[in-house]
Amino acid sequence: MNTKEAAKLLGITDQDTIKNWLQGGYFPWAKCFMISWPSGDSDYYWHFDKDEVLKVKARMDKLNITDVLDLPTDENYPEPPKF
């Protein structure tokens, strides 16, 4: 699933939130793919495993939160880097 689909499944209206969470390390299993165009430009997109997104969703629902930054950290969801 792509960023838009992951956001929708998690009930997030802004895809930038998912991108911020990616930068925060909350989806270490997500894969980034780059596309190179003949013009020399390139684009990238993220692929999320649906089962892993569903685990995040279940965790958010269990904790009754809407912001992954409120999730307690553990070995499966490491603390995000400090900026």
Which whole number is the average pLDDT over 53-59? 87
Amino acid letter, residue 47: H
Nearest by Cα to 5 from 54, 43, 44, 42: 54
pTM check: above 0.85: no
- Do 63 and 57 form a contact (C-beta atoms < 8 A)? no
Residues contacting residue 80 through CB under 8 Å, at least 6 positions apart: 24, 25, 26, 69
At residue 77, the pLDDT reads 55
Q: pLDDT tens across 59-68, in order? A: 888 777 655 5
Q: Is 36 helix (H, G, I), strand (E, B) or coil?
A: strand
**Token pair 């939130």: residue:** 17
Q: How far apart are the first and last CA of the chain?
A: 28
Which whole number is the average pLDDT over 10-35? 85
Domains in the chain: boundaries: 3-70
**pLDDT at residue 46 above 70?**
yes
